[in-house]
Amino acid sequence: MYRYLGIDYGTKRIGLAISDEEAQFAFPEKILLNNNSTIDEIEKIIKQKNISAFVIGESLNLKGEQNAVYNDIVRFGDLLKSRFELPVYQEKEFMTSVFARSSTDQKKDFNKSQKHSRVEKKRSPKADASAAALILQRYLDRMNTK
């Protein structure tokens, strides 16, 4: 069976998720800073978790067109494929970050007098890994229904 590494690519952070050994379920793994050590960190995970393939989020805008990050994602996928000689699959990542943030944000209890447009929601550090798990789970669900 394949064990997949799901990737939510971002220019600052990269969320990672891992499937179980039966490739049925995806679990958030960790978040890496997108820097010069990212590939080395991914290599450690590949070896530790016996990864067989990558599933990377395909980033499109609301019209279904390639967005500003799309080409960076393609280059990153090509780098993974050439460096590790493992397959790289793409899965639509539409709204995964929004869903991940809404499920991982810590909701503060504001009374009506405290609610204001300047009150900013704090972003949970788990959101990127959760988004990667959503991307990977979509892929696994699609593959397992064939």
Per residue in 29-85, pLDDT tens?
A: 999 999 999 999 999 999 999 999 999 999 887 787 888 899 999 999 999 999 999
Among 94-98, 100-104, 109-113, 121-125, name the one with the lowest average pLDDT.
Answer: 109-113
**121 pLDDT above the threshold of 80:** no
Q: What token pair was written down for 7?
A: 């990737």
Q: What token pair was written down for 109?
A: 């209890």
Across all residues in the chain, what is the average pLDDT?
Answer: 82
pTM of the model: 0.79
**8 pLDDT above the threshold of 90:** yes
* Closest residue by Cα to residue 30 from 84, 22, 105, 44: 44
pLDDT given for residue 65 in this prediction: 82
Share of the chain above pLDDT 70, in %: 77
pLDDT given for residue 59 in this prediction: 85
**20 pLDDT above the threshold of 80:** yes
pLDDT given for residue 49 in this prediction: 96
pLDDT given for residue 55 in this prediction: 98
What is the rounded distance in angstroms from the CA atom of residue 114 to the CA atom of residue 61? 33
**104 pLDDT above the threshold of 50:** no
Is the dihedral angle over the CA atoms 38, 85, 59, 15 positive or is it negative?
A: negative
Q: Do the beta carbons of residue 49 and residue 18 sit within 8 Å?
A: yes
pLDDT given for residue 68 in this prediction: 84
Domain ranges for the chain, please list them.
4-106+118-144
pLDDT given for residue 125 in this prediction: 56
Which fold does the domain 4-106+118-144 belong to in CATH? Nucleotidyltransferase; domain 5 (3.30.420)
Q: Categorise residue 95: left if φ over 0, alpha if ψ from -120 to 50, beta otherwise.
A: left
Q: What is the largest CA-CA distance in the chain?
A: 57
What is the rounded distance in angstroms from the CA atom of residue 9 to the CA atom of residue 98? 14
Q: Which residues of 44-77 are buried (b: 16+ CB within 10 A; e: fewer)?
A: ebbeebebebbbbbbbeeeeeeeeebeeebbebb
Rounded to a whole number of angstroms, the CA Rg of the chain reads: 16
